[in-house]
Amino acid sequence: MDFKKIKERLTNLDTACIYDVNEKLRVMDPEIRPINQGIKMIGIARTVHCKRDFLSVLKALHDSGEDEVLVIDAEGDKVACVGELFAFEAQRKKLAGIVVDGACRDMKGIRNINFPVYSRYITPRVGTSSNIFPVQEKVNCGGVSVSKGDIIIGDDDGIIVMSEKEAAEILDTAQNIQIIEKKVREKMKAGKSLTEMLNFFDHYAKIDKKQESQLIFTI
């Protein structure tokens, strides 16, 4: 399955239901948060490593293309390597987003352009532009490994990293989960309780007796 088809299907899925399908997927540290909420990010990883210097980030941004996510391993540093102009350039080039395991600045400007940027820290401090670091090599971002070509999906809950194979494998089940949850919400609006639509009482009794059980919807 090519990326365009995967992206089309991922657009209607959230990270929570994707994780529910496969709890072994790579989930970034929850401290890496979206600057702009309410925007979904789906793209292909372009990786770059840096430390207190943004020159290689600028080079990676120049080399990047449509639907790519710039994944920056800044080693969790508290000096910014991305700001408003970088985000604006990424938006102009139709990138899918930017993820920084480090710091960003120019929050007002980034929020004004409504582009997906995720960052661990916010600061006015900025790094140098005097050092060259590796690009398109495996990096550690948010506590998980990310390689070029990995699929990155982010929303207000956080960021999940998947190979193309992993993404293709979760699609059908994740879509079914969201269909079920939609039906549950509709029934709750009509007055039905959440526990009525789960095997809650049977599950609770088995857990109380130290028996194996799994909580599932029964609608």
How confident is the model over 112-121, as pLDDT tens digits?
998 999 999 9
Residue 103 pLDDT > 80, yes or no?
yes
For residue 215, what pLDDT band results from cuts at 50, 70 and 90?
Answer: very high
Residue 91 pLDDT > 80, yes or no?
yes
Q: List for the chain the helix, strand, coil content (%; round to 5).
A: 35, 25, 40
- Residue 20: count of CB within 10 angstroms of its CB: 15
Condensed to tens digits (0 to 9), the pLDDT of residues 166-210 reads 999 999 999 999 999 999 999 999 999 999 999 999 999 999 999
The pTM of this model reads: 0.92
Answer yes or no: are the C-beta atoms of 90 and 115 closer than 8 Å. Answer: yes
CA distance 114 to 63: 22
Answer yes or no: are the C-beta atoms of 127 and 53 closer than 8 Å. Answer: yes
Domain edges within the chain: 3-162, 169-208
Q: Is 11 exposed, middle or buried (0-12, 13-18, 19+ CB in 10 A)?
A: exposed
164: helix, strand or coil: helix
Condensed to tens digits (0 to 9), the pLDDT of residues 39-82 reads 999 999 999 999 999 999 999 999 999 999 999 999 999 999 99
What is the reported pLDDT for 1? 75
104-108 contacts at long range (C-beta below 8 A, 24 or more positions apart)? 104/35, 104/80, 105/80, 107/35, 108/84
Q: Which CATH code is given to the segment(s) 3-162?
A: 3.50.30.40
Q: Is 92 exposed, middle or buried (0-12, 13-18, 19+ CB in 10 A)?
A: exposed
Nearest to 90 by CA among 71, 64, 129: 64
